Amino acid sequence: MFRRALGELTDADVYDQFVVDGLMSLAEECIRFTDSGKPGDVALDMMDSASQRGVRFRREPRIGVTYSSDDEARFKVESVGDLGGDIDFVYLDAPFGALRLDARGSGTVGPASLRRLGADADGPPTALSSAAAGWSIWASLAVMAVSICVEPLRRRAAMRWAVLAACLMLFSVNALTARRAAATDEPEEDGIEVEFQGDAAAILSFPIEDDRDRDLAVFNEDGEPVPCKYNPVTGMVDARVTADGKYYVALSAVYFTDIDGKSAEMRSAIRALTSRGLMAGADERKFLPDREITRAEFLSVVLRVMDLLDEDAQCSLPDVLRSDWFYSVAASAEKERLISGYEDNTFRGNEPILKVQMASIAGNALMRMMDYERPDDADEILRVYTDSDDIPTWARDSVALAAFTGVVPTRADGSFGGGDVMTRGDASVMLYRLFVKIW
């Protein structure tokens, strides 16, 4: 599959960051499902083939091994040992879903399990359950048998009426209890229950029939949205989960009345981010796309997208107080090296964020989450902008990476506009582009 895709590349595709990133995703999926037992060798062979074709990747492929099951309801792995140092992920792959576990720095993974919710209700009724459901029939037959065998009961009309009344009462009681049980003991809604050990985030995948990416979301058992996205390579919806529990996939469209005049990409980004709970509207009907977004607000969304918001992180920036709503945001951003503060080491969380700051944070996020290399040709990459000389030295590498990977939207006049103040609408476009990349 990978070789076929490589052979279909045009000379222009080799330099297209979107095509190259898509090829890397395909390579990683091929490594995941390889039958050779040596995913490292497979990765090296594919990278050599790509290099000969002139393709230049910005990072090394993530190598994974897969454990599969044909069970339609449950899949459990007690322990996976001897992973070696080259394996990044372990996959549990079942017909009803898949689980990706981080194996980096760990010699073993497990136990972990998947269970399809609602699977028990889908199977045919057993003989025991059928007999239990119609217990009144058996009880009535027993009463009738006793009345026939006992002569005094058989000969007296009053007793025969009493037996008939007892049978009717048994049938009535059975009907009432069955109706009540059906109302209170409904079958589980279709979804997946997952259990795994460790504190690292896992990726839970749901198979779907089509790529309804815009409005499709994953929810936990409390009804809260979980960061997720459609994976076009696997045809599944991937959700980043951090804890055991039950998860469900459903449509969750969010529509705002004040974004109709915006670009199609901005409208799509806003709906995708808000339906997944990553951004919030001003209320149920308004998003306020033209309102400025502050540094703290932007970083809070970035951290949710990356699932790296640490409520216990400690912040050393002097102008961030524990009473500030964004204390954990600033502390987490500092911890994950997304920011370094201004020259005076301040955070200035309530100030509107500039485009150069937003792009720099996006580039740092790509290096943190996707192991992208810091570009050694930043000046050459930034030369596409007419005002590239205005991009400050401290931001050039990270901005170049964000621009090269397509996270930064282009402008009609060819400039970067690093000093522009960003709005909520502007942020949604860059955030969604980043969201797609870090998975």
Per-residue pLDDT, averaged over 89-96, amounts to 89
Beta bridge partners of 367: none
Domain-embedded: residue 331: yes
- Of the three residues 133, 158, 184, the one that is the final residue of a domain is 184
pLDDT for 129: 47
pLDDT of residue 227: 80
Determine, yes or no, domain membership for 219.
yes
Best-predicted range by mean pLDDT (63-72, 81-90, 163-172): 63-72
Q: Residue 176: which domain range?
A: 121-184
In the chain, the number of structural domains is: 3
Could you tell me the pLDDT band of residue 378, with boundaries at 50, 70 and 90?
very high
| 258 in any annotated domain | no
Instruction: Assess if residue 256 is contained within a domain.
Output: no
Domain shared by 428 and 391, yes or no: yes
Q: What is residue 429's predicted lDDT score, i.e. its pLDDT?
A: 95
DSSP 299-337: HHHHHHHHT---TT-----TT--TTSTTHHHHHHHHHTT
H/E run at residue 74: strand 74-77
Give the pLDDT confidence of 31-55 residue by residue, as tens digits.
887 765 577 788 888 888 888 888 8
Domain end position, chosen among 184, 201, 224: 184
What is the per-residue pLDDT for 297? Answer: 95
The 10s digit of each residue's pLDDT in 173-186 is 666 655 544 444 44
Residue 162 within any structural domain of the chain: yes
Looking at per-residue confidence, does 436 or 335 come out higher?
335
Q: Are residues 48 and 161 both part of a single domain? A: no
Q: What is residue 388's DSSP assignment?
A: G
Tell me if 307 is assigned to some domain. yes
Point out the domain boundary residue: 211, 227, 251. 251
One domain for residues 382 and 313: yes
- pLDDT band for position 349 (50/70/90)? very high
Query: Looking at the domain assignment, is residue 257 inside a domain?
Result: no
Range with lowest mean pLDDT among 33-42, 194-203, 290-299: 33-42
Same domain, 244 and 368: no
Q: Is 259 within a domain?
A: no
Band of pLDDT at residue 82, cut at 50, 70 and 90: low
Beta strand ranges found along 104-262 (DSSP E): 112-117, 191-196, 202-207, 216-220, 225-226, 228-231, 236-241, 245-251
pLDDT band at 153 (very low <50, low <70, confident <90, very high): low
pTM over 0.85: no
Give the separation between CA 331 and CA 317, rounded to whole angstroms.
Answer: 8
* Together in a domain, 274 and 387: yes
Task: Tell whether 338 and 374 lie within a shared domain.
Answer: yes
H or E element that contains 384: none
